[in-house]
């Protein structure tokens, strides 16, 4: 179970994501299968 979500207010940036909507930056970012947000082009 994934309970850690991205904290968009953290200066260090995203922590963990469970789904794409957890990512900061909108549709430009996706949640990878290892729980980090990455930008896709």
Distance CA 40, CA 2 (A): 22
Does the pLDDT value for residue 34 go beyond 80?
A: yes
Mean pLDDT value of segment 1-5: 61
Instruction: Using alpha carbons, select from 33, 30, 32 the residue that is nearest to residue 41.
Output: 30
Per-residue pLDDT at 22: 82
Write a three-state SS string for 4-31: CCCCCCCCCCCCCCCCHHHCCCHHHEEE
The predicted structure's pLDDT at residue 5: 60
Q: Work out the pLDDT band at 1, boundaries 50, 70, 90.
A: low
Lowest-confidence pick of 7-11, 22-26, 37-41:
7-11
The model's pTM is 0.59
- CA atoms within a 13 Å half-sphere pointing along the CA-CB vector of 1: 1
Residue 5: which of 13, 18, 30 has the closest Cα? 18
């Amino acid at each position: 179970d994934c309970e850690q979500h991205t904290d968009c207010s953290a200066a260090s940036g995203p922590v963990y994501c469970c789904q794409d909507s957890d990512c900061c930056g909108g549709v430009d970012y996706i949640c990878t299968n290892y729980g980090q947000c990455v930008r896709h082009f």
